[in-house]
Amino acid sequence: MPGAGLNDLHFVGSGLVRPECVLANAAGNLYTADWRGGVAHIRPDGSQTLYAGPGPDGLALKPNGVALLRDGSFLITHLGNEDGGVFRVQRNGQVEPWLQRVDGQDLPPSNFVVEDALGRVRFLLFYLACGVVAALSQTFITAAAGDALVPMVGASGAIAGVLAGYMVLFPRARVLTLIFIIFIIRLVYLPASLFIGFWFAVQLLSALAGAGAGSGVAFVAHVGGFVAGFVLVKLMGPMRGYRRPGVW
């Protein structure tokens, strides 16, 4: 896969106001939150379209995060002075509230929004299960080594499970990676399966080599959490009706 040097980077878009949370697709389209009140669409030929409209108070929204929905519309978060919330922006510029209150409380200014593949309850169970398996894996190994009282703090094992789940659900997602080869620096896009797979291989080799002993890094927990996440997401699968956005 050809690499790109730092000198190959160039600016795209013009007239954007505080662009945040850039989304990109394989066709070269870019979408970014824009403080003019919505989402800016930057096409490969450089042309732009702003999907925006006034908020409920008649003023422009101040979006910080943006997510693309399956029907081609967008969810944006609002960073108002006091009022927050999540709004839906249609491609004709129509803006409508999406989520304003949670458990009877007004949603404060928010930072990011994402539509998940598992669903909230299933993801919580998935995350906790990965963490438990990771902790048990590390405890078993340390006990077998004769030191079962080694303290263990952190959630890296559960995060390893989330990485495994992402690799299974989105294996061809591209990850922009900074690679150092002696004095050569390259930015390359790697598929998530390769990037995360390499990370797992490093964790596995480190665990087998006993690199975690005395280092404070629970490599076995990473391995256990990753395996648990891989197996669980295969068994659970995406929530019913979920499909990756196809209208970009």
Over the stretch 191-224, which tens digit does the pLDDT of each residue have?
A: 889 999 999 999 999 888 875 555 667 889 999 9
Same-domain status, 96 and 156? no
Mean pLDDT of 126-130: 91
Same-domain status, 125 and 101? no
Confidence of residue 246 (pLDDT cuts 50, 70, 90): very low
> Pick from 54, 79, 106: which residue ends a domain?
106
Structural domain span for residue 23: 6-106
Predicted pLDDT at 14: 85
Same-domain status, 85 and 184? no
Predicted pLDDT at 117: 65
How far is CA 189 from each of CA 2, 142, 193, rounded to the nearest angstrom?
9, 38, 12
Predicted pLDDT at 1: 39
For residue 220, report the phi and psi dihedrals to the nearest 5 degrees: -65, -35
Predicted pLDDT at 227: 95
Predicted pLDDT at 129: 93
190: enclosing H helix or E strand: strand 184-191
Q: Is the pLDDT of residue 3 over 60?
A: no
pTM: 0.55
Cα(first)–Cα(last) distance of the chain, in Å?
A: 24
For residue 90, report the phi and psi dihedrals to the nearest 5 degrees: -85, 165
> Pick from 42, 73, 106: which residue ends a domain?
106
Q: Is the pLDDT of residue 176 over 80?
A: no
Q: Is the pLDDT of residue 42 over 70?
A: yes
Does some domain include residue 248? no
> Pick from 57, 80, 106: which residue ends a domain?
106
Summarize pLDDT for 12-26 with one digit per residue, the tens.
888 888 887 888 887
| Sign, CA torsion 208/211/214/215 | negative
In the predicted model, what is the mean pLDDT of the chain? 79
Mean pLDDT of 176-191: 81
Q: Is the pLDDT of residue 133 over 50?
A: yes
For residue 2, report the phi and psi dihedrals to the nearest 5 degrees: -65, 145
Predicted pLDDT at 230: 94
Does some domain include residue 247? no
Predicted pLDDT at 6: 58
Same-domain status, 97 and 124? no
Same-domain status, 18 and 63? yes
Higher pLDDT, 112 or 188: 188
Same-domain status, 84 and 159? no
Same-domain status, 155 and 53? no
Confidence of residue 83 (pLDDT cuts 50, 70, 90): low
Does some domain include residue 72? yes
